[in-house]
Each structure stands twice: as structure tokens, then as C-alpha cells.
Amino acid sequence: MTANPLGRDFRLLWSAAVSSRLGDALRTPALALLAATVTRDPRLIAAVTVAGQLPPLLFGLLGGVYADRWDRRRTMALVDGVRAVVVAALAVVVALDRISVLALLVAAFLLAALGTLFDSASFALLPALVPPDALPRANGRLQAGSAVAGGFLGAPAAGVLFAAAPAVPFAVDAVTFAAAALLVLALAPTSVAYARPRPGVRRGSVWSEIVEGLRWLRAHRTLWRVTLLAAGSNLAISGIMAVLVLYALDVLRVPPAGYGLFAAAAILGGVAGALGAGLLAAWLGTVPALRAVLAAQTVALTGFALARHPVPGGIALAVFAAGTVVWNSLCASYGQRHVPSELLGRVGAAQRMVGLLTAPLGAVLAGLAAAAYGTVPVAGAAAVTFALVTLAAWRALRTATSGVLSHSDAA
């Protein structure tokens, strides 16, 4: 059976997302390279990275509130317009050779802070553009486009453009943000572009609206369980990613010159998973598919932990990456289908926040364990963690359905 087209507005949103992702993939390594040219102090270089990672933790929930208060289409366009100006200014400063660590810190922090609002608004806008049954396919297409733009195009080109002239990656990034803003403005206005207050009901404070979103998420049995399962899996994913380079070089014996090809296996797997997410959801149903994906990832990660050669290790990594992208696509689709439109920004932000809290912990634990015992036990521990998450998922999601929301699923 042929799937219905996702429509003009989705194509515009997809193009905007891919354009932004391409620019991000150019800018992120360019910022690191630029920091290394300004200073050789590892603490300052690390500070630039941290400046780009803090805003989602500090402002993620706040971004969800304003994604529900403001027109989402206009908010996304405005955010990308401001980001275009910020990156263009950075390109000018770099071209004039006036760059400093402070400028890099401010730019990284500001761009990441604006990104939290854009992500919340984008997540909440998608259900207004495509039918509910098409959400898994739409989310998969978005992830596939972003993976190709970031992994296969942007990241390899970043170093080449930076070598040509340090300002070029930032100038191109500014163009991609401006293009994305124009594409979003071309979207047709929707009747659910933001949460309109009910007649006669006054809007609460920002804090009260954050709490409202958190309470709704906590009260929805299935979505809360999915969120906790995602947090548990992120613990293992961040741990294995933290030591991936060392594991590949020392355990799998990947030649240093071949590491890029080895890493490309994960990107290819992610693209394949993204393109297959909609088919899997249509075949099994969203929640049963989530359980199956975790089981497949556990097998793949176990194979990765046992592998001692680049080929089986790369295949296992590709399968694991495919499962990660399918999981992300289906989780987003489930929330977008079941959360009321007026709460989508806040609930989606709350879900991302829970996941973000476990990722740094997994990376830190993996680093400490690898330093003490080597990377092999880290891979084994990640596989065990995933197995425990899978067992919990098969129990916690056993009675859940991916269809109509029942009274037992929400307070």
C-alpha cells in the first residue's frame, strides 16, 4: 500500500530542518577549531563546548513554555533569523581577526539557548502539518535528512572550509539559518499554531505553566514510562559514545585512517532506521515497535561488546544506531499524537530534559570506568544496562497501546 504524501508544508519544514542541521554541522567543529587557534588552554577550549551544552539544561523547560504561548511558526522563523544574525556577526569578527574566547563563549551559549526554543516549537508544530498516522514517517524523514546533512555533508566539509578561511563555515551557517527562516515563514498558518488561553481564563506564571507540563507528563502512564526508559537507554548510549574512539582503535583494531569509514556505518544505520520507522510503526503499532526496537538494540550492543574485528563491530554499531533513530522517531510521534496541542511544547521539553540529565552521568561513569578497567568492561556494562531497560520496557509497556488514549493512560 502506497503511503500518502506528507504535503507541501512538511516539505518546507523538512527543508528548513535540513538546512539548519547542515549549518550546525559546519559550525560545531569550526567553533572547536577556532577555539584551538585562539588558545591552547584546554580549560578554555572545554568551556566553549560546555557553553553550548548548558542552555538546554538551563532553559529547556522555559523554551517549552514559550513554544506553547507564542505562534510556533513565527517563533521558529524569528529564532532562525536571530541565529543567522549572530553567526554572521561571528563570521565578520573572525574575518577581521578580532575573535576572542569571550566572543566564542557568548556565541556558543546564545546559539544553544535560541536552539532550545526552536526545538520545542518545531516539535509542537509538526502534528499540525501532517495527519496523526503519518507522524512516525514524518519524524523518520526529518531524522534521515538531518543525519545526511550533518554526518555526510556538513561534518566532512567543516574542516575543508575552515582550512580555506576560518570565517567561511560561519558565513555558510548564517546563510543556512536565513534560508530556514524563510522556509518556515512560507508554511501556511495553522489554527493550532500555539496554545490560546480559554476565554475568561487568565494565563498563569511561567513557573506554573512549567509545573502544568511536568504534571501532565507524570500523570500520563505510558508517556512517563517511555520517558524513563529513554533516560535509562541514554545512560548506556552516552557511555558507549564516550569511549567509542578508544574501543574502536584498541579493541576492534580499526586503523586510524579507517575510523571515519567505521563511524560512517553508524550514520548509515541511522538513516536506514529513520526511513524505516514509519513502516515499523504501521506494521507493529508504535508502542509494540518501541519494545521490539529495544530488544534489537540489546542484541546489537551485546554483539558490539563481544566483537573483536572492525567488520562485525561496524555492523553491530550500524544496527544499534538504526534502533536509536527508530526509537527517537517513535517516541516523538507517540507524544505528538497523545499530548494536547496546548501542552506539546512543555511536555516535549520535559521529556528532553529528563533524557539530558542522564547523558552526562553515563559519559562520566564510562570515562572513570575505562580509566580504571579499560573500555571492554564499559561496552559490557552498556549492554547489560540496555538489557535491563529492555526487560523493564517489556513489562512497563505490556498493557499500553498506540491507539486511542484511554482513561488509564492519563489523569
pLDDT at 257: 82
Q: Which residue has the cell 535491563?
A: 388
Lowest mean pLDDT across 27-31, 92-96, 169-173? 27-31
Q: pLDDT averaged over the chain?
A: 89
> What average pLDDT score do residues 47-65 get?
89
% of the chain at pLDDT higher than 70: 93
Is pTM beyond 0.85? Reply is yes
What distance in Å separates the CA atoms of residue 230 and residue 274, rounded to the nearest whole number?
17
> What average pLDDT score do residues 287-311 get?
95
User: Cell for 238?
Assistant: 552516552
pLDDT in tens, 390-401: 999 998 888 664
Distances (CA, A) of 182 to 17, 82, 117, 136, 177: 12, 12, 17, 26, 9
pLDDT in tens, 317-332: 999 999 999 999 999 9
pLDDT at 363: 87
Distances (CA, A) of 3 to 133, 260, 305, 337: 10, 35, 38, 18
pLDDT at 156: 82
Distances (CA, A) of 278 to 4, 151, 215, 246, 326: 12, 22, 29, 34, 9
pLDDT in tens, 209-237: 999 999 999 999 999 999 999 999 999 99
Q: Is 79 helix (H, G, I), strand (E, B) or coil?
A: helix
